[in-house]
Amino acid sequence: MALDILYFAWVRERVGIGGERIDLPAGIGTPLDLANWLAARGGGYAEAFADPARLRCAVDQDIVPLTADLANVAEIAFFPPVTGG
């Protein structure tokens, strides 16, 4: 199933792109699984996803824990804790 991944702030800078579309690999059930799978690509991905505890994520534009279920999700975003206001 196609999944759009978006990156923001220093996650975007380290990965080097704002987003991409992937086919969700078998066995990836949560954002944490996906973060570890992305880290295994190495390079900027490894830097961005080295410490998942520093990351937050949103699925279909709702903030959720990294342990959320990725089934039937169309869009996921990874980013640092937010700092607006």
Q: How far is the CB of 28 from another protein (least distance, A)?
A: 22
Q: How far is the CB of 65 from another protein (least distance, A)?
A: 14
d(CA 19, CA 51): 20
Nearer to another protein, 40 or 63 (CB): 63
Which of 63, 67, 69, 74 forms a contact with another protein (CB under 8 A)?
Answer: 63
Q: How far is the CB of 49 from another protein (least distance, A)?
A: 16
Sheet of 19-23: strands edge to edge?
19-23, 2-7, 75-79, 56-59, 62-64
